[in-house]
């Protein structure tokens, strides 16, 4: 018995020696004061490579490239036509049919939403080995990657409108600005290659979304952009991708089709990276938040529509609402080393996500400054000694009346069902925070930037985020935020950090 045990443990030792060391043995000890107890590699810095070949030949087999299915749009190079629309639309308003109620009523929790696990053990019999009970789409039914309701269709069609503008926009900036223009903004040929790659990603996303919609999938439209230089182009991109991403987070978990949600999540993960990259190209912190927020579809459509000038005849129309624009008069300008010094209305136009003006005097700009804390040239991350905004900052607003024609062929009309605005609603991270609105004149007023935190140490208001004026301070959370819509009087976007 004893001999056997000895033999067995000897065997195990033998195996342990042959196998890679267990993970914990390869972990390094904790350390403090940047005083690592282990040698760093490479250290010291050796001779830096100057010749790059010939390479080692690695084992390889001749492999043909298997072409993927065609994309709905080929790679665009060169300028496309742009500008405002001046004709008369042949049809007007959001697509609509029989409307059976005036608002969505609030209901108690779903009676089946009762699961709670106090002991960490499985609470139900398992359907198969290693398979815990539950989940949706886990019982072996064949996936169907198609929209499964009007809600799904309208949401994915909105997403497709977004993918199409991005495909055009990223290419357009590369086409209208020179290599030198980009260099002057601190962006190299390699950075332009990233933007060109992003445009190609969009043609893939547009193809995917078109396939999940079917033959009524909207086609590419013609657009009207607000920027006149590279910094404004990048600023516009980081705002546009912000609501593109957040628009999807807002509806993805409400989709009827889990299969569509799956593929959409895999494309929006890419969009999230694009947003981060554009922030970095603008010399902003890549992600000064702990959570990315979700917004309702009508919010995304409100931000997007004003930049679409016309769509081809018979383009599938959307059911979402266009809210009147909220103008943030003292929108912090990320091109200034002192955002406090931002002038009133220092944005290029009056549409909801128009970028901040970059053509400010050089001595007030942070773009070419080479001082930590004050530079906003492209970087992996920047510290701003003077933050773009801070809790307590007074924010001045003006807002439009409803009834304005926006969107493709000016064929949608802004509307609101809200009464007089009483609150500013700050939508960021996991939170909806209201602050009282002080109305100072017709369609004019101010509020104070809140100091709410998500969890301790994480200020809720930061990054590129969303502000609405509302007539009530209804308590809402990320999964029922769209109930805010009948209370929205005007909608804007805020550059908090």
Ligand X SMILES: *[C@@H]1O[C@H](CO)[C@@H](O)[C@H](O)[C@H]1NC(C)=O
Site residues for ligand X per CB under 6 A? 87, 89-91, 106, 136-137, 139, 141, 285, 288, 310, 312-314, 340, 370, 372-373, 383, 386-387, 389-390, 409, 411, 430-431, 433, 452, 454, 459, 461-462, 474-477, 480, 483, 496-497
Quote the least distance from Cβ 32 to ligand X, whole Å.
16
**Which CB atom, from 277 or from 462, has the smaller least distance to ligand X?**
462
Q: How far is the CB of 269 from ligand X (least distance, A)?
A: 22
- Shortest Å distance, C-beta 220 to ligand X: 13
Non-local (6+) Cβ contacts of 426 within 8 A are: 432, 433, 434, 435, 449, 450, 452, 460, 461, 465, 466, 467, 494
What is the residue whose two structure tokens read 């910094």? Answer: 231
Q: Exposed, middle or buried by CB within 10 Å (0-12, 13-18, 19+), for 478?
A: middle
Backbone angles phi, psi at 25, to 5 degrees: -70, -25
Minimum CB separation from ligand X for residue 482, in Å?
Answer: 10
Q: What one-character-per-residue DSSP string does 271-334 give?
A: HHHHHHHHHHHTT--S--SSS-----HHHHHHHHGGGEEE--TTPPP-----PPBEEETT---T
* Between 319 and 348, CB nearer to ligand X: 319
- Backbone phi and psi for residue 397, each to the nearest 5 degrees, phi listed first: -125, 155
Cα–chain center distance at 305: 17
Nearer to ligand X, 338 or 350 (CB): 338
Nearer to ligand X, 13 or 314 (CB): 314
Specify the residue, 160 or 174, whose C-beta has the smaller distance to ligand X: 160
Q: Which is nearer to ligand X, 92 or 404 (CB)?
A: 92
Q: What's the closest the beta carbon of residue 340 comes to ligand X, in angstroms?
A: 4
Burial bucket for residue 148 (CB in 10 Å: 0-12, 13-18, 19+):
middle
Number of C-beta neighbours around residue 13 at 10 A: 10
Query: Closest CB to ligand X among 41 and 90?
Result: 90
Rounded least distance, CB 68 to ligand X, Å: 28
Shortest Cβ distance from residue 8 to ligand X (Å)? Answer: 47
């Amino acid at each position: 018995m004893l001999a056997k045990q000895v033999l067995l443990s000897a065997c195990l030792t033998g195996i342990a020696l042959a196998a890679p060391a267990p993970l914990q043995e390869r972990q390094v000890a904790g350390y403090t004061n940047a005083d690592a107890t282990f040698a760093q590699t490479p250290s010291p810095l050796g001779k830096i490579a100057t010749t790059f070949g010939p390479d080692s030949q690695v084992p390889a087999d001749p492999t043909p490239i298997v072409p993927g299915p065609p994309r709905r749009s080929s790679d665009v190079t060169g300028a496309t036509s742009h500008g405002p629309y001046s004709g008369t639309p042949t049809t007007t308003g959001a697509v609509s049919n029989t409307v059976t109620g005036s608002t969505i009523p609030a209901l108690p929790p779903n009676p089946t939403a009762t699961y709670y696990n106090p002991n960490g053990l499985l609470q139900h019999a398992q359907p198969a080995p290693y398979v815990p009970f539950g989940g949706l789409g886990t019982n072996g039914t064949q996936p169907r990657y198609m929209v499964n309701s009007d809600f799904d269709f309208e949401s994915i069609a909105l997403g497709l409108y977004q993918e199409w503008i991005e495909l055009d926009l990223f290419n357009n900036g590369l086409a209208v600005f020179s290599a030198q223009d980009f260099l002057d903004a601190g962006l190299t040929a390699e950075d332009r290659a990233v933007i060109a790659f992003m445009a190609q990603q969009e043609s893939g996303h547009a193809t995917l979304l078109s396939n999940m919609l079917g033959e009524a999938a909207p086609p590419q439209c013609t657009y009207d952009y607000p920027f006149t230089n590279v910094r404004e182009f990048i600023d516009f991109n980081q705002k546009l991708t912000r609501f593109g991403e957040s628009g999807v987070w807002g509806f993805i978990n409400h989709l009827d089709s889990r299969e569509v949600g799956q593929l959409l999540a895999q494309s929006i993960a890419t969009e999230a990276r694009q947003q981060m990259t554009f922030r970095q190209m603008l010399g902003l912190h890549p992600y000064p938040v702990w959570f990315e927020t979700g917004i309702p579809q009508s919010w995304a459509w409100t931000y997007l529509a004003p930049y679409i000038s016309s769509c081809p005849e018979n383009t599938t129309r959307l059911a979402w609402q266009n809210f009147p624009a909220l103008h943030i008069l003292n929108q912090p300008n990320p091109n200034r080393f002192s955002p406090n010094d931002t002038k009133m209305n220092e944005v290029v136009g009056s549409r909801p996500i128009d970028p901040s003006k970059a053509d400010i005097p050089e001595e007030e700009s942070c773009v070419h400054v080479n001082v930590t804390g004050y530079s906003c040239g492209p970087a992996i991350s920047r510290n701003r000694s003077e933050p773009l905004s801070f809790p307590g900052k007074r924010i001045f607003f003006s807002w439009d009346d409803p009834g304005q024609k926006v969107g493709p062929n000016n064929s949608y009309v802004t509307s609101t069902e809200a009464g007089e605005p009483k609150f500013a609603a700050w939508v960021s991270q996991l939170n909806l925070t209201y602050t009282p609105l002080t109305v100072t004149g017709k369609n004019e007023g101010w509020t104070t930037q809140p100091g709410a935190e998500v969890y301790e140490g994480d200020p809720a208001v930061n990054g590129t985020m969303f502000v609405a004026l509302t007539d009530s301070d209804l308590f809402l959370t990320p999964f029922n935020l769209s109930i805010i819509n009948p209370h929205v009087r005007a909608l804007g976007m805020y550059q908090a950090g």
